[in-house]
Amino acid sequence: MTPSLVLHRLTSFFVAWDHWWTRESYPHIMGIIRAAFGAWLLMYWAIRLPYVRILFSTDGIVFPKIPEYMPKNMEWLLQVPEPHIALIIYSIQIVALITLTIGFCTRSSAFIAFCISWYYFYLSLHLFHTSYDRLYIFVLLVLSISNAGQYLSFENWEKYGSPFKWEKMVSIFPQRLIAFQITMTYFGVGFQKLWLPGWQGGEMLWYSMMGVWATPLAFKITSYGWSDLYHVAVNLIKIFELFIPFSFWITKGKVRWIGMGSGLIFHVLVDLLLYIW
Amino acid sequence: MMAPFQSYTTTNAELVAEGLRSGRWERIDLTQYLPHSRGEIAIRTRMSSFNDKSPVYLEMAKKLQSMESANGRTYSSVRLVWEKWPKSQYGFYDGHTDTDTTRSSVVQFNL
């Protein structure tokens, strides 16, 4: 192995690496992600409208957490606002999510929604140690640097006469970032279950279905009593959570779609039994 | 990597707020101030993000006293208590009996 051969191989590797992360791609996937994710977040925040005052203002029991990296002279940003200020901030969030969903001033909308979501996290949502909010904030940040408005957008409708018409190829980098984050989320959550003592038996599921998150359906199932099927279910969860992150990247056959379908079934069950969504 | 449901417990717990009026402790309905599901209320009352929870719970008790007063219920004192009871396969509160439920004091705010 000569030095020039090593250099050649390294160069080839980094060219392939760069190509994988930043090559040009069709704008359709990011456009669909933007519209679907925007609509989801819009629903997620819109249902909070009746509770904005008690969740995010001095009218409620709100305890912000000042992050360690925040300079002292900026801590006023996380003072619990008066109800009318809280409503103004909330309204800006809803407008930003509407414009993000329809693809109008996409990057600015995503950035505004990212900033406000980040603010809400430290104002109130930090109490949820593990929640989808962190993923939502990350995806909003990625959308704010993407060309997700190049397809299925109001901007394209204005430019080309139809939201489905498109002209420019876009960098695949934002799509890779989101895909990699989702992969690592499932992988981390699934991998740690291999050694966590709580996940070595069906009791994990049995007792979780009687806990604070349990739905009436969960209690209907537990009322039938203990069964070894809980052991089976826990092991199936572990298998799928490890299979899903790898399946996203396998384009052979229907593996990718089986992975996504399994993920969908898993999350629907989590919502039906534990009301977590 | 932080993930939910890393372990399980065999008991359920709930933060209970009570107000003292005319010599009797009355339960304060926290669902007026903490909306959505039981799970969300449980997480919001655990204050897991705070290393030192005492000042936060004291502030919560003060806030509850003030908000209840604004709603026409004046208490001379508000206390927060953790109630814990064994889980039941038949319902969230099915194991919540006088004999099986333990109470541990969190904080008391006196006006």
pLDDT band at B2 (very low <50, low <70, confident <90, very high): low
Is residue A100 located within the same domain as residue A45?
yes
Is residue A247 located within the same domain as residue A151?
no
Is residue A178 located within the same domain as residue A266?
yes
* Residue A11 covered by a domain: no
pLDDT band at B4 (very low <50, low <70, confident <90, very high): confident
Maximal CA-CA distance, chain A: 72
**How many angstroms away from the CA of B31 is the closest CA of chain A?**
11
Q: What span, in angstroms and rounded, lies between the C-alpha atoms of A245 and A275? A: 23
**How many angstroms away from the CA of A27 is the closest CA of chain B?**
32
Digitized pLDDT (tens) for each residue of chain A, 277 residues in all:
788 999 999 999 999 999 999 999 999 999 999 999 999 999 999 999 999 999 999 999 999 999 888 999 999 999 999 999 999 999 999 999 999 999 999 999 999 999 999 999 999 999 987 788 999 999 999 999 999 999 999 999 999 999 999 988 999 999 999 999 999 999 999 999 999 999 999 999 999 999 999 999 999 999 999 999 999 999 999 998 899 999 989 988 899 999 999 999 999 999 999 988 7
Last residue of a domain, one of A145, A171, A197: A171
* Residue A122 covered by a domain: yes
ipTM of the complex: 0.91
CB A103 within 8 A of CB A163: yes
Whether residue B3 has pLDDT greater than 80: no
Is residue A162 located within the same domain as residue A214?
no
pLDDT, residue A276, reads: 81
- What one-letter code names the amino acid at A219? F
Q: How many CB atoms lie within 10 A of CB B108?
A: 15
Is residue A138 located within the same domain as residue A216?
no
CA angle A234, A240, A268 (to 5 degrees): 80
* Full DSSP string of B40-97: HHHHHHH-TT-S--HHHHHHHHHHHHHHHHHTT---SEEEEEEEEEE--TT-TTTT--
CB pair distance less than 8 Å for B47 and A63: yes
The half-sphere exposure of A81 on its side-chain side, counting CA atoms within 13 A, is: 19
Is residue A119 located within the same domain as residue A81?
yes
Nearest to B14 by CA among A274, A51, A211, A60: A211
* Residue A10 covered by a domain: no
Is residue A38 located within the same domain as residue A51?
yes
Q: How many CB atoms lie within 10 A of CB A21?
A: 13
Last residue of a domain, one of A137, A171, A205: A171
CB pair distance less than 8 Å for B6 and A203: no
What's the whole-number mean pLDDT along residues B79-97? 97
CB B47 within 8 A of CB B101: no
CB B7 within 8 A of CB A197: yes
* Residue A6 covered by a domain: no
pLDDT, residue A206, reads: 96
Is residue A158 located within the same domain as residue A179?
no
CB pair distance less than 8 Å for B48 and A127: yes
pTM of structure: 0.91
Whether residue B1 has pLDDT greater than 60: no
Helix axes A106-123, A83-102, angle to 10 degrees: 140
Nearest to A143 by CA among A21, A25, A26, A31: A31
Is residue A125 located within the same domain as residue A200?
no
Helix axes A106-123, A28-46, angle to 10 degrees: 40
Q: From chain B, pick out residues whose CB is under 8 angstroms from the CB of A203.
A: 8
Last residue of a domain, one of A146, A171, A196: A171
Q: Which residues pair with B85 in a beta bridge?
A: B12
CB B19 within 8 A of CB B25: yes
Q: What span, in angstroms and rounded, lies between the C-alpha atoms of A152 and A27? A: 9
Is residue A156 located within the same domain as residue A190?
no
CB pair distance less than 8 Å for A212 and B42: yes
Q: How many CB atoms lie within 10 A of CB B42?
A: 17
- The answer for residues whose C-beta is within 8 angstroms of residue A220's C-beta and 6 or more apart is none
Is the minimum CB–CB distance between B24 and chain A shorter than 8 Å? no
> What are the residue boundaries of the structural domains of chain B, listed by start?
11-110
Is residue A144 located within the same domain as residue A246?
no
Is residue A89 located within the same domain as residue A110?
yes
**How many angstroms away from the CA of A260 is the closest CA of chain B?**
20
What's the whole-number mean pLDDT along residues B67-84? 95
**Tens digit of pLDDT for each residue in B21-35?**
999 999 999 998 998
- What's the total number of domains in chain A? 2
CB pair distance less than 8 Å for A127 and B44: yes
Nearest to B58 by CA among B2, B3, B110: B110
Residue range(s) defining the domain that contains residue A111: 26-171
Secondary structure letter of residue A162 according to DSSP: S
